[in-house]
Homo-oligomer: A and B are copies of this chain.
Amino acid sequence: MATEQDLAYLPLVEAARRIRDGEVTSRQLTEVALERAHRLEPQLNAFITLMDEAALADADAADRRRAAGGARPPLLGVPVALKDLYDTAGERTTAGARIYRDRVPARDSTVTARLRAAGAVIFGKNNMLEFAYGEVHPDYGPAHNPWNLAHSTGGSSSGTGAAVAAGIGQGNMGSDTGGSIRQPAAWCGIVGLKPTYGRVSRAGVVPLSWSLDHCGPMTRTVADCAAMLAAVAGCDPADPTAADRPVDDYVAALTGDLRGVRIARLADEARAATPETERATQAALAAMRAAGASVTELPWPDLDDGSVALMAILYAEASSFHEEWIRTRPGDYAEPTRARLEAGLRLPAIDYLRAQRVRAAVGRRYAELMTRFDLLVSPTGRGPAPRMGPPQDAPRTGGGDRLLGAIGWTGIFDLTGMPAVSVPSGFTADGLPLAVQIAGRPFAEGAVLRAAGVVEAAAGTLGRRPPLE
């Protein structure tokens, strides 16, 4: 007999199989997810909205559908949640912002609709940094890291990181503009994939910076990540930036070793990882080598120029979206967000265009790099989740903005649009998760996930659960 915890931590693909085979019902899993979410919410603050009634009705409908026979979509009955910037028809979508506190979209985002079409039961909307722009809004407060409640989850997909790590729901979707999927995935000990720019539709997703925004899955296992991506990827008439390109079989791509795979380990000469992070990264590289890959160490190209370019693009595009509100409702933003948005209003167009030119040059350099290497590997960040500090002061803007540090080793792949996954690589002596980042060629999500699977198997992190109960 499975315990409640066993059901809670059931991988998404295993949950889907058990529902299909009648070993568990959607209602059982959805009740576990909701009960757990409510019970842990005082500690985690991981949700902005829990949709008990609608989710249980959807779960019962899924169970009836299964009982009726006929076609069964791949995620039938599986409870998943969403970062609270994916529009959900008739269910409020706040983007972690006071300005959107009462916003109830009329239609589902494309991702929401595709998850529903795949049979998933959407049970909640996760806490996040305000408008995904780096800061907690006091109306919602910070999410807490399940591995140590005094530590940060990272952001901006903060509640998603906390919920998935705490075994609340079988899968989740985050968004990533400078690292907002991969940083919380790394700090919360889960898998987070930023797919290729254009691989997943952004229609109905509250934008931060449209030339940099990516939607992607956050899950407990690499296989779950592949299954979630398969459910949501693909072109979309409602999003002209969504790529009109066939979707690979990401689950099948996980099978096999890494023979012939050429890996570049990217090394940042200006910034070192913590010794524990570096050791875990070396172990991950050793596992990939053992699976047949070759590894070459390489100085990290264009890291600083790329980060500065990303910041200029982010400032301009975010302030463009927020222009009206930042002029009329500045007090409704968290103070650091307000300061950042007002600085963005003043950014000259020539700075934005210079950044786009740098971006094009960086893109050419990485395209050249990917003719010589198949994957790029680094730690996801310099160290594990830090302790949460007191509420932050206004950031110094531009080059002094602390966001520049946060985008660290992740932002470069938002800039180039290449797929990049963060996968757990071990734990610190204090029990905090560590992670590596694996990036690949545009639309080579399968190759990236296969390598992530090798790291996941070698790291032996799958069975470990945060000390919540």
Question: Which residues of A are interface residues toward B (Cβ below 8 A)?
Answer: 240, 315-317, 319-320, 323, 344-354, 357, 360
Taking CB atoms, residues of chain B closer than 8 Å to A348 are 345-349
Taking CB atoms, residues of chain B closer than 8 Å to A349 are 315-316, 319-320, 344, 347-349, 351-352
Q: Which residue of B lies closest to A364 (CB)?
A: B240
Given A319-B350, A320-B349, A349-B349, 13 more pairs with CB closer than 8 A = A240-B360, A315-B349, A316-B349, A316-B352, A317-B353, A319-B349, A320-B353, A320-B357, A323-B354, A344-B349, A346-B348, A347-B348, A352-B352
Taking CB atoms, residues of chain B closer than 8 Å to A345 are 348, 350
Partner of A320, one of B240, B317, B323, B354: B354
5 interchain residue pairs of minimum CB distance: A316-B349, A349-B352, A320-B353, A347-B349, A320-B350
Taking CB atoms, residues of chain B closer than 8 Å to A320 are 349-350, 353-354, 357
Q: In the complex the two chains form, what is the Cα distance from A346 to B346 in whole Å? A: 9
Q: In the complex the two chains form, what is the Cα distance from A390 to B240 in whole Å? A: 48
Taking CB atoms, residues of chain B closer than 8 Å to A319 are 349-350
Taking CB atoms, residues of chain B closer than 8 Å to A346 are 348
Taking CB atoms, residues of chain B closer than 8 Å to A315 are 349
Min CB–CB distance A35 → chain B (angstroms): 45
Q: Is the Cβ of B352 less than 8 Å from the Cβ of A323?
A: no
Min CB–CB distance A366 → chain B (angstroms): 14
Q: Which residue of B lies closest to A323 (CB)?
A: B350
Taking CB atoms, residues of chain B closer than 8 Å to A240 are 360
Min CB–CB distance A357 → chain B (angstroms): 8
Q: In the complex the two chains form, what is the Cα distance from A349 to B211 in whole Å? A: 14
Q: Which residue of B lies closest to A350 (CB)?
A: B320
Q: In the complex the two chains form, what is the Cα distance from A347 to B345 in whole Å? A: 11
